A and B are shown apart, each in its own frame.
Chain A
């Protein structure tokens, strides 16, 4: 299948349009957002350019601004909802796509638990524009539903999206199940790590950094999984046999409870916390344990360290000192002293944190996500 020729992305200067769209979605002005997008469609004449060089970068900016605490939850949700609706309008512009696509069939879905559907939605729209028959299953698709869908439709491939690394174990189950059903999987999204390294270790058949790349991989074609396709997750990741992931994941709540109690003994400011601050600290700890478990799952200490450094940055950006992070990691290491990989991972993160964190000013709770 050859994609229709399209103008070079730089043929139409989308920079100003991006600023206009950003300002519109930021203010929750759906009408203005739609006008910007439809104007860009008219001037560029290419819907894929509008999707990937206008909407996608603005949505990415929504994510970074929100993570940096410069957008409220309401603004972030509103912006995303506006993008969703604008894309729906775009999809129904006459003449943009074949009404009865005859191309190969593909399933696009987000991993169970993944609520960021927009990247997957962009890919679905791009594939539709290129003539694929696309089944877009949306956000947080339970794996049994995904597999039932594969049996019913028999697609050529599954595009699986996940943006948050803690969904990697679920993603792995989904990838393995798709392959066992004879359907190859291309993975995409920030969860799969720099250069898609976790897509590889989880045995995905393909990976792409963005929608254009994914469409190119799918157009080149992925081989059907062979008889080797039927395997278990531990075959991809033999280190899982050491049970460290299993135990940390299974005892998350106990670990959080114990660390919280120990932290109260050791970290004086915590004793003065309000109920709400204490709750936030518990949530932070739960995130930390989840990332630790994920890190053990993919056997990559860097994953955990990246999260800890990011948390420290977020806490700082929200004017909450990250001083309680180090004792929390120390207390976790004490509880997990019998697990060498977990201890190495925690030590690695503490070291990186020590290189990074400036001296604390005032203590307080934090809420990274």
Chain B
């Protein structure tokens, strides 16, 4: 209980008689003697307590909370000349509420000053509720904003609604045919997803909500008509009231929100219904954004699938491994590319191609896609590298792309444990070979880049790899990686050769990983160009084939 001195009225006048100034006070005033008999009242008090006349017992004419407070005061505060304890009490009188402040008169009576605080209390309650709602909406918005995952948004919506707005909540996704996806959250806070095959129109207002019509008022929804499939499992009591409101979306509804209260609880008020709509509009926006993101991401994934570098694996006894790191941290594709086209059988040559389109990002990646497709189409001519490059050059010159590309390619076959390569560069950094003893040499092939001149020429070099030896194809993103301990040096061919000299006898996977790791560490936090590497390795030992994730592993000789 509060001791509020600021609100304490001045001690009453000497006489408690009706002629005193307090008799005209706008506040109800009741004076009672220590034994609980009413001594006097003013007009305002008489209006409030019609029976309160001098001589009546206080307990018979005023509410118990005042009479009780008076009795307590009598027992604790003896004697006159005591200004009163000032202990304020509060309670209802009819449909209003009052504060009662006691003061003591010189005669030892107690004068009760009543202040009507109904409106203030109502305003305070409304303010508190409004604050709670604002805080809830702010919390809900940030919880909903955090995820772009549709399922997760549904879970968050159901959880928040069940915790703050109702006993249980159900989110209904836009149905596909008769298949309806539901997300339940019951009084226990556990979120469950379920798919049902029922007609949404069984629940009054739900079909309308899902088609974007305005919500049906809660009082029109017969709780008994709520179908069993729309009630979460943990919700055992009968449904007492229900709200069905649409989750507004981008033009089409993102779903509907069903709020349920058990029969033991008060039905939804109109203000609660309005508030539920406010919440539903936020949830709907979040779910719609998530759905749009999912659709876009799915489109991107589909379109990107052809542009992503392939996963390489051993082909006909030759190890191939590739690694790719695009320039942008947020990108997955770029202007570098590689492919291995396996030969039909181990007697024939497989073709490995690694290249670099001038430019970065998606636009460059689109052109890599065209080049890769063209090379694929030209595979029957892969015996003759010059012819293949000439045709590829013609195709690029005739396309509307103004970009050009460099590439290195090799036809690879393994005979009697030795891997034989015919290597051709078209304006591309020549591949490096690491020998079994750690010696590193450049493949001396050179040629014109493609897509820039009508005439192109190149030389093809034959090389052999003994077991444990690797031929590494790379793009200039590796050698031109800028960084190092001083921050401004190129990684350079020299450093690449030194790194590669450590890679004698390593599996192809380990070689590309090692090179990419060194280049990435060289760059550190700085930016870099696309970086691609492909290793062609003559296996050292018998290796496990079929570890490409599709078939069971087995041993090969």
Contacts and interface: CB of A to CB of B under 8 A. Distances in A.
Contacts of B503: 74, 77
B59 interface: no
B502 A152 contact: no
B297 A140 contact: no
Interface stretch (A26-34, A46-54, A188-196): A26-34
A8 interface: no
A230 B510 contact: no
Interface in B515-557: 517, 520-521, 540-544, 547, 549, 551-553, 555
Interface residues of B, number: 47
A146 B532 CA distance: 21
A93 interface: yes
B486 A154 contact: no
Contact of A73 (B290, B502, B542): B502
Interface stretch (A10-18, A55-63, A78-86, A355-363): A78-86
A283 B495 CA distance: 13
A224 B123 CA distance: 37
A78 B156 CA distance: 47
A84 B541 CA distance: 16
B505 interface: yes
A256 interface: yes
A28 B552 contact: no
Contacts of B461: none
B503 to A, nearest CB: 6
Interface in A243-280: 252-253, 256-257, 260, 279
Interface in B149-172: 149, 151-152, 156
B453 interface: no
Nearest to B548: A88
Contact of B504 (A74, A113, A115, A180): A74
A285 B486 CA distance: 10
B269 interface: no
A31 B543 contact: yes
B547 A144 contact: no
Interface stretch (B113-121, B139-147, B228-236): B139-147
Contact of A150 (B149, B517, B540): B149
A256 B142 contact: no
Interface string A223-239: 00001011000000000
A118 B553 CA distance: 19
A89 B502 contact: no
Contact of B143 (A92, A145, A182): A182
Nearest to A87: B547
A89 B484 CA distance: 38
A152 B507 contact: no
Contact of A28 (B505, B509, B549, B553): B505
B139 A81 contact: no
A249 to B, nearest CB: 8
A85 B547 contact: yes
Contacts of B513: 77, 81, 115
Contacts of B156: 182
B506 A31 contact: no
A142 interface: yes
Contacts of B142: 227, 230
Contact of B149 (A31, A86, A152, A257): A152
B329 A144 contact: yes
Interface string A85-100: 1101100111000000
A212 B107 CA distance: 83
Contact of A81 (B151, B502, B507, B555): B507
B553 A74 contact: no
A252 B483 CA distance: 11
Interface residues of A, number: 51
Contacts of B541: 28-31
Nearest to B551: A92
A282 interface: yes
Contacts of B147: 150-151, 154, 181-182
A72 B505 CA distance: 11
B488 interface: yes
B552 A30 contact: no
A286 B524 CA distance: 11
Nearest to B504: A74
Interface in A271-321: 279, 282-283, 285-286
B485 A286 contact: yes
A154 B152 contact: yes
Contact of B139 (A31, A86, A227): A227
B399 to A, nearest CB: 31
B549 A88 contact: yes
Given A31-B544, A74-B503, A152-B294, A142 B149 contact: no
A256 B485 contact: yes
A181 B145 CA distance: 8
A150 B151 CA distance: 12
B332 interface: yes
A201 interface: no
Nearest to B143: A227
Given A72-B502, A151-B297, A152-B149, A80 B485 contact: no
A89 B143 contact: no
B279 to A, nearest CB: 15
B243 to A, nearest CB: 24
B330 interface: yes
A140 B146 contact: no
A89 B146 contact: no
Nearest to B488: A253
A352 interface: no
26 contacts: A28-B540, A30-B541, A34-B555, A73-B502, A74-B502, A77-B507, A85-B507, A88-B547, A88-B549, A89-B547, A115-B520, A142-B329, A142-B330, A150-B147, A151-B148, A152-B294, A182-B143, A182-B152, A182-B156, A253-B488, A256-B485, A256-B486, A256-B487, A257-B486, A283-B485, A286-B485
Interface of B: 139, 142-143, 146-149, 151-152, 156, 290, 293-294, 297, 329-330, 332, 484-488, 502-507, 509-511, 513-514, 517, 520-521, 540-544, 547, 549, 551-553, 555
